[in-house]
Amino acid sequence: MSVTIKDVARIAGVSPSTVSRVLSNHPKISPATVRKVREAMVELGYHPNIMAKSLVSKSTQTIGLVLPRSVEEFLNPFFSEVMRGIFAFANQAQYDVLMSAANSRQEELEAMNRMILGRRVDGIIMMAPRKKDPVIEQLLQHDFPFVLLGRSLEHEDLLCVNNDNIKAAFDATNHLISLGHKRIGFVSGSPDMVVTEDRLEGYRQALVGASLPYRKDWIIGEEMLQAGGFHALSLMLTQPERPTAFVVIDDVIAFGFIRQLYEAGFKVPDDVSIVSFNNIMLTELSNPPISTVDIGIYHLGYMTAQLLIRKISGEPIVQNQLVLPHRLVVRGSSLHPRT
């Protein structure tokens, strides 16, 4: 025979209606009562009928997570760490997480429609927003609760959790300047990502502020990181006026870039210094260990889930945009220039 709310109420010494309020996270139930009811549920092995509960409360106790379109992006440890933070707060708030992945923008929009129109989730976390992102427009059109992990260029008032990526890139570039580098390049990411634009702007501001050259031919895009662009990269590095250091937009990209430098005959940091972003665990274990900007990946995920669930619960939100601090972690990949 299945365990019922009445059974839980009897063991906890409360009324069935009190058990129902605990299951609904009613704010007026005391912590002591919540603890007694939760302990009784564990003792009896009781699990609430989420489907029945959602029909009554019109809540699924589930949040949706839109994963990046590219499989290569998803394999980046940044995403697994940020998801760890999301799951941690969701579990704490007794929410489940429904993830959706797609191979194209059209598939992404269709998956979003299924989540929204099917009322499968109470709100959505959108990761890595892009410029003029159609997913954001779709969410706004449906007036559906969502939070960005990142920011929108077109809608500055949206709920979001982010770093000050302009300042983070400024600090990374300024670190290389303080070491004496005067010719500093930038290794970019996808040009339609908002974070790419912000970090490129911080890099530019640092160079201009130090009266150093900002040269577009020293900015390496995605195409130059592929096999077909290796010749162009080698050509740049053999010029007399070549960069002696690079700011790289992401740790994983930095690994690939350092490999290409070695294949071209350059050593890090003896010939070229590197500073990147995110501070994933492998940066400390690489050879050399990579200097990087720690952006607090886990806390980005944790705070994004917290903000969304506060929004869903109807709590007042004073600050729409949470900007988490960053810190520069200096390791062996950045050194003063030899010449």
On whether the CB atoms of residues 74 and 68 are closer than 8 A, the answer is: yes
pLDDT at 303: 96
At 73, the pLDDT band (50, 70, 90 cuts) reads low
Query: For 289, which DSSP code?
Result: P
How much is the pLDDT for 210? 98
For 37, what's the count of Cα atoms within 13 Å in the CB-facing half-sphere?
A: 25
pLDDT score recorded for residue 144: 92
**Which of 60, 155, 69 lies closest to 111 in space, CA to CA?**
69
pLDDT at 230: 61
Mean pLDDT over 247-254 rounds to: 92
pLDDT of residue 302: 97
For 319-333, how does the pLDDT look when each residue is reduced to its tens digit (9 = 90+)?
899 999 999 999 999
Greatest mean pLDDT range, 21-35, 75-89, 129-143, 193-207: 193-207
- pLDDT for the residue 22: 80
Q: So what's the pLDDT on residue 339?
A: 65
Lowest mean pLDDT among 39-48, 165-174, 192-201, 285-294: 39-48
Q: How far apart are CA 209 and CA 205, in angstroms?
A: 6
How, if at all, do strands 146-149 and 184-187 pair? unpaired
Residues 6+ apart with CB under 8 A from 67: 74, 79, 99, 100, 101, 102, 127
Residues 6 or more apart whose CB falls under 8 angstroms from that of 37 comprise: 8, 12, 14, 18, 19, 22
Q: Is the pLDDT of residue 80 over 80?
A: yes
Q: What is the mean pLDDT of the chain?
A: 87
- Count of residues for the chain? 339
Q: Which residue has the tokens 């760490």?
A: 81
pLDDT higher than 70, residue 223: no
Count CB atoms within 10 A of the CB of residue 327.
Answer: 12
CA pair distance 110, 116, nearest whole angstrom? 10
Is the per-residue pLDDT at 32 higher than 80?
A: yes
In sequence order, which residues have a C-beta less than 8 Å from that of residue 143 and are 6 or more positions away? none
- Sketch out the chain's domains with CATH numbers: 62-163+297-324 (3.40.50.2300), 165-294 (3.40.50.2300)
Looking at 36-50, 87-101, 298-312, which range is the least confident one? 36-50
Confidence grade of residue 72 (pLDDT, cut at 50, 70, 90): low
